[in-house]
Amino acid sequence: MKKNFFALLLLTVFGLTAFFAKPTDFETVFKKINEDVLKKGQAYERLEEATKTIGHRLTGSTNGKKAEEYAFNLLKSYGYSNVSYQPFVVESWSRDTVSLAIVPEKSDNFRDVEVVALAHSPVSSHLSAPVVDCGDGLDDDFEKVKEQVKGKIALFNINIQSESNKGKKNLHRSEKTALAIKYGAAGVIIANAVQGGVLLTGTASVTGELIPIPAVCVSVESGKAIRKWIRDEKDILAVIDMRNFSRPINARNVIATLPGTSKKLKDEKIVIGGHLDSWDLATGAMDNGIGSFSVIDVARVFKSLNLKTKRTIEFVMFMGEEQGLLGSRHMVKKYKEEGKIDQVKLMINLDMVNNAQGFNASGRPELKASFDEIGEIIKKIDNTYQNANRNGAGLHSDHQPFMIQGVPVSSPSGSFPVKAYNCYHANCDRFDLINKDQLNNNVRYTAMMLYAMANLEKLPSKKFNDEETKEFLIKQNLKNELIIGKDWRWEP
């Protein structure tokens, strides 16, 4: 902690000159990046082409393979000679049929409810059981009904809605499902939070493996209706029927490498990535087309301008993120097996980033201070850049496997129109929600920050050792989530 404080003090007192000699050099390059993206940016056009010609990009599907090849060939066309596939084997999951009916225990008056299966539900399930309202699905909610929920179907919200939970940290749908399993539930119904009959998909598994109980999602309106039936009719049954597919398949991360030019720093790596895969209800334009195609266009900019960096940069299109961070977990595992994880000095993740106006330092104050300083140079190029940098660590995207190995992680941060954000993991996540100017903001500001980070004489944040990583995760209030997600590698 003393070293981190000293680094922060250096930044505060001496500015970026503590880390590189000529900040004006950055300004010159930033101008070139800005002009290139505004005149020649291709992220919007390539994303449009991919959504039209490929469709969804579900890992393990034919479309997923097409997306891998599309990204590979696109990076090759931009002049990268070192583009490679990083193959891995995963348990693929895909949906077949699902239905949900609600019926009072003493009646045959079935009410069919529109529903989608959540990923990693069983291959086959026929369940008929009473429904128990488990509120927001937090640990305290389950504690209140722990005697009632065993052998029943747990109904809970995707978000926090009850007054008693206001101010508490929400959990991921997979973590809530893990709690339901822990408390003995036989099935799960998750109520979405978006008005208009929107159904949300996504994984219900914390590990990417099949879960033992069926899990489905209903709309916010259906969730309210089911709760009303529980209040009015006391005992109601839910009947869940589903069939799904699951089998081992081959998937591939796509990696383009820009070698570092400094004899001293070329073995240091910055990994910048975004997940290329998407769910199958739509074309995944927002989640995560905007992130992955921003990364691809950042890579294009570096080749277009023949930019040189002291550190090596790896541009990565991850697959399998939606099914449990499978591609990024595999990449980190390979780094560890090859003894190269310590070479990764920074990971920048673009997942559902839109209209970037700053960067999240993910719990590293010294990194945020550097973002603040570099952001002031960016503002000289474009005074509409807000330099709105944050410093909060979180989970559930491809930065997580890197972060729990002590690697500093970050991401651009921005905002979404409400209509677009409401289509997260839903059947309305399509290209017509994407704004070209906002997508270009992702590319130009991320390219500027990446160039600066790759050329600093010394990066402000160091890789934590094992004990420092443990302390960091506890301080960031992530221990409990990681335990639920079976990703805590220390003694509880």
pLDDT of residue 329: 97
One-letter amino acid identity for 14?
F
pLDDT of residue 145: 98
Q: Determine the average pLDDT of the residues in 59-73.
A: 96
**Contact call for residues 118 and 204 (beta carbons, < 8 A):** yes
Nearest to 322 by CA among 173, 476, 489: 173
Kindly state the percentage of the chain with pLDDT values over 70: 94
Please check the confidence at residue 348 and state whether its pLDDT lies above 90: yes
Q: Which residues of 202-227 are buried (b: 16+ CB within 10 A; e: fewer)?
A: bbbbbebebbebbbbbbbbbbbebbe
pLDDT of residue 92: 84
**Contact call for residues 114 and 197 (beta carbons, < 8 A):** yes
Residue 471 token pair:
């302390």
pTM of this prediction?
Answer: 0.92
Range name among 204-213, 258-267, 419-428 with the lowest pLDDT average: 419-428
Confidence of residue 419 (pLDDT cuts 50, 70, 90): confident
- Per-residue pLDDT tens for 303-318? 999 999 999 999 999 9
- DSSP structural state of residue 119: B
**Contact call for residues 241 and 99 (beta carbons, < 8 A):** yes
Q: What is the C-alpha separation between 492 and 490, in angstroms, rounded? A: 6
**Contact call for residues 316 and 253 (beta carbons, < 8 A):** yes
**Residue given tokens 């270009």 in the structure block:** 440
pLDDT of residue 6: 46
Kindly state the percentage of the chain with pLDDT values over 90: 88
**Contact call for residues 95 and 280 (beta carbons, < 8 A):** yes
pLDDT of residue 13: 44
Chain center to CA of 412: 12
**Contact call for residues 425 and 200 (beta carbons, < 8 A):** yes
Confidence of residue 8 (pLDDT cuts 50, 70, 90): very low
Confidence of residue 152 (pLDDT cuts 50, 70, 90): very high
Radius of gyration for the alpha carbons in the chain, expressed in angstroms and rounded: 23
Please check the confidence at residue 195 and state whether its pLDDT lies above 50: yes
pLDDT of residue 45: 98
pLDDT of residue 235: 79
Please check the confidence at residue 263 and state whether its pLDDT lies above 90: yes
Sorted by where each starts, the structural domains of the chain and their CATH numbers stand as 2-82+259-484 (3.40.630.10), 92-246 (3.50.30.30)
Averaged pLDDT of the chain: 94
The strand pair at 116-117 and 215-218 is best described as antiparallel
Grouping H, G, I as helix, E, B as strand and the rest as coil, residue 258 is strand
- Per-residue pLDDT tens for 9-55? 444 444 554 444 455 589 999 999 999 999 999 999 999 999 999 99
Nearest to 365 by CA among 373, 356, 353, 357: 373
